[in-house]
Chain A
């Protein structure tokens, strides 16, 4: 029983012939909030799908391992996978999606997750339990009898969070949990998510495209581009000392009040730790990238040569 909730080792995933993940390796520790940042197409959702065993053809794992509490989920049977879903790792979907079944009431949808893994439950006990789950995400008990279309986007997301915590999973994966929500609602949803995770003593993986937002939320964070990890480290490290040109571009893409230079192209880093000449991350080799240490726990990729490097802080 390791103290790592989730570990990916040299993960290569392709959709048909198109590579989506090119040798991704990272580890999420117990009770930590871990962020995955990147643009659309960088492969971040693919990681979540692969970790849950939900990759459907044409998506397939070409190489690599995903360890959940030390168990390689890629080697499990469909039935074993089904049993550990939701109980060991739960999923909070994108806020913009219609993730809830339109024809079932909220309580029925939470109930079937519970019943699927814990067997039939007593009516009153179940109802009380669901009410408790909803209360923990600041939703009134009356929400249980509602249908999804009767709830606002923020409320639906909170239902998803409540549902995800129902079986006390050790790991929660939230894929863009606040996209398409109003800014104020975003904050309350994020707060509910973090609070829920802390209550469970679980690890949380948050996937998003807003690096600055993620950095405020997570303990450690990795930046992805085109299926590769380009930088990984603590939130503080990445925010204070972004090393890879792409990371810096992402951070600077957020216009700061008073900052006259709103958008800048990736900068070459003349004093990069990798030494040699930096081209500002403009080139992209199909080959591999080497991970270099910037400081303890803070790694950056240089896309010229890659040697397998397990990153565990």
Chain B
């Protein structure tokens, strides 16, 4: 892997993070109306105390530095971001946004990583098998229904699953990650409870995503099968399993992984909405509450963290890629 390659990827990550930060900086200033006034109105409407309003307004002004020249505000803002200071939550004032997000982030990452990994791995393997000669014909009937499911966004599947399996048949819990009244602890019982609660959200994501990976991998394996080095591999009299794994699969998986990197943003967005449906205490549910409470700093914090997380994940995948494909970093020279 060349230094130039790493540099380019790092620059790309920095660019995306900077763009997201600047976007978050600009939008409140360009938006019509005064967000602070809207929040105060909301708090008053909900019968909350307006006593702390002075602090809230002051903090908001400080966070956004609305009294100072724009350039200075911008630099302060970027500096704060570098310290992971996303400002205080407006509704849970003065709790820092980062702290609130920190509580929800692990749940989201857990759900996202697990579901995506399962969907990708299972989908890719199944897709490869669909394209290989040796696969029995009846297995191919799996393809159309799973692909049809892939046409539907995650949250629709989530709505169906939660209504039928959770509320309707009561097989699975419908919300949260631990049973009501249970005291979470680092033990097997809690782990099992969490898994039980995470199953439906994860299933929504896995079922809706797997078809896409299957179809993609199948097409890739089909194209690799037609390629010249496959013919030579067979002419060499290599055992069929080796031809399939090391010659066909190993080459077909490369664009599939690229596809994963490109899809991460979409997957993250989908997972967030699934959390909303299941009241799963991750970033999604937090976002919903933040929107309902007009907690603008929290909204911006969550969205920034989302962009950052996805950007980092893609960055890691990009760095992993030359290890799998020896042609890549060489070409970047």
A interface list, Cβ under 8 A from B: 52, 54, 81-87, 90-91, 93-94, 97-104, 112-113, 116-117, 147, 149-150, 160, 163
Task: Say yes or no: B324 contacts A116, CB within 8 Å.
Answer: no
If A102-B251, A149-B326, A150-B330 touch, whether A113 touches B229 (CB-CB below 8 Å) is: no
Task: Say yes or no: B229 contacts A98, CB within 8 Å.
Answer: yes
Cross-chain contact of B236 among A94, A98, A116, A147 (Cβ < 8 A)? A116
B181: CB under 8 A from chain A? no
Task: Say yes or no: B238 contacts A116, CB within 8 Å.
Answer: yes
CA distance A112 to B233 in the complex (A): 9
- How near does chain B come to A56, taking the closest CB pair, in angstroms? 9
If A101-B247, A113-B237 touch, whether A93 touches B231 (CB-CB below 8 Å) is: yes
- How near does chain B come to A114, taking the closest CB pair, in angstroms? 10
B230: nearest chain-A partner, CB-CB: A101
CA distance A85 to B243 in the complex (A): 14
Task: Say yes or no: B327 contacts A149, CB within 8 Å.
Answer: yes
If A99-B229, A147-B327, A149-B327 touch, whether A85 touches B235 (CB-CB below 8 Å) is: yes
A100: nearest chain-B partner, CB-CB: B229
Task: Say yes or no: A99 contacts B232, CB within 8 Å.
Answer: yes
Task: Say yes or no: A102 contacts B326, CB within 8 Å.
Answer: yes
If A82-B237, A116-B239 touch, whether A103 touches B232 (CB-CB below 8 Å) is: no
Task: Say yes or no: B242 contacts A112, CB within 8 Å.
Answer: yes
Cross-chain contact of B228 among A52, A86, A98 (Cβ < 8 A)? A98
If A116-B242, A149-B326 touch, whether A100 touches B232 (CB-CB below 8 Å) is: yes
Query: B interface, how many residues as a size bin?
Result: 20 to 34
B103: CB under 8 A from chain A? no
- How near does chain B come to A176, taking the closest CB pair, in angstroms? 12
B164: CB under 8 A from chain A? no
Task: Say yes or no: B239 contacts A103, CB within 8 Å.
Answer: no
A81: nearest chain-B partner, CB-CB: B237
In the complex, which residues of chain A have a beta carbon less than 8 angstroms from the beta carbon of B250?
101, 103
Q: List 15 A-B contacts (CB under 8 A).
A: A54-B231, A54-B234, A82-B237, A82-B238, A84-B237, A85-B236, A86-B237, A100-B229, A101-B229, A101-B233, A101-B246, A102-B327, A112-B246, A113-B236, A116-B239
If A91-B235, A103-B326, A149-B326 touch, whether A97 touches B251 (CB-CB below 8 Å) is: no
In the complex, which residues of chain A have a beta carbon less than 8 angstroms from the beta carbon of B234?
54, 85
Highest count of chain B CB atoms <10 Å: which of A54, A99, A160: A99
- How near does chain B come to A261, taking the closest CB pair, in angstroms? 39
Query: What 1/0 mask marks residues of chain B from 40 to 54 whose CB sits below 8 Å from any chain A CB?
Result: 000000000000000
Task: Say yes or no: B232 contacts A93, CB within 8 Å.
Answer: yes
Highest count of chain A CB atoms <10 Å: which of B228, B237, B254: B237
In the complex, which residues of chain B have a beta carbon less than 8 angstroms from the beta carbon of A87?
237
Task: Say yes or no: A149 contacts B237, CB within 8 Å.
Answer: no
Query: What 1/0 mask marks residues of chain B from 234 to 265 whose CB sits below 8 Å from any chain A CB?
Result: 11111110100011001100100000000000
In the complex, which residues of chain B have a beta carbon less than 8 angstroms from the beta carbon of A54?
231, 234-235
In the complex, which residues of chain A have a beta carbon less than 8 angstroms from the beta carbon of B232?
91, 93, 99-100, 160
B325: CB under 8 A from chain A? yes
CA distance A160 to B324 in the complex (A): 23
Task: Say yes or no: A113 contacts B238, CB within 8 Å.
Answer: yes
B227: CB under 8 A from chain A? yes
In the complex, which residues of chain B have a beta carbon less than 8 angstroms from the beta carbon of A112?
236, 238, 242, 246
Task: State the 7 A-B residue pairs at the shortest beta-carbon distance, nearest first.
Answer: A85-B237, A97-B228, A91-B235, A86-B237, A113-B236, A99-B232, A147-B326
Task: Say yes or no: B327 contacts A93, CB within 8 Å.
Answer: no
B225: nearest chain-A partner, CB-CB: A56
CA distance A101 to B245 in the complex (A): 12
Which B residues from 157 to 213 make CB contacts under 8 A with A? none
If A102-B251, A149-B326 touch, whether A82 touches B229 (CB-CB below 8 Å) is: no
Task: Say yes or no: A103 contacts B238, CB within 8 Å.
Answer: no
- How near does chain A come to B234, taking the closest CB pair, in angstroms? 6
Task: Say yes or no: B236 contacts A86, CB within 8 Å.
Answer: yes
A163: nearest chain-B partner, CB-CB: B236
Task: Say yes or no: A149 contacts B325, CB within 8 Å.
Answer: no
CA distance A85 to B235 in the complex (A): 6
CA distance A86 to B231 in the complex (A): 13
Which B residues from 75 to 103 make CB contacts under 8 A with A? none
CA distance A103 to B323 in the complex (A): 10
In the complex, which residues of chain A have a beta carbon less than 8 angstroms from the beta carbon of B330?
147, 149-150
Task: Say yes or no: B251 contacts A103, CB within 8 Å.
Answer: yes
CA distance A86 to B251 in the complex (A): 23
In the complex, which residues of chain B have a beta carbon less than 8 angstroms from the beta carbon of A116?
236-239, 242
Cross-chain contact of A86 among B235, B325, B327 (Cβ < 8 A)? B235
- How near does chain A come to B172, taking the closest CB pair, in angstroms? 42
A52: nearest chain-B partner, CB-CB: B235
In the complex, which residues of chain B have a beta carbon less than 8 angstroms from the beta carbon of A94?
228
CA distance A259 to B289 in the complex (A): 89
CA distance A268 to B6 in the complex (A): 68
CA distance A82 to B234 in the complex (A): 8
- How near does chain A come to B52, taking the closest CB pair, in angstroms? 62
In the complex, which residues of chain B have a beta carbon less than 8 angstroms from the beta carbon of A83?
237
- How near does chain B come to A142, taking the closest CB pair, in angstroms? 16
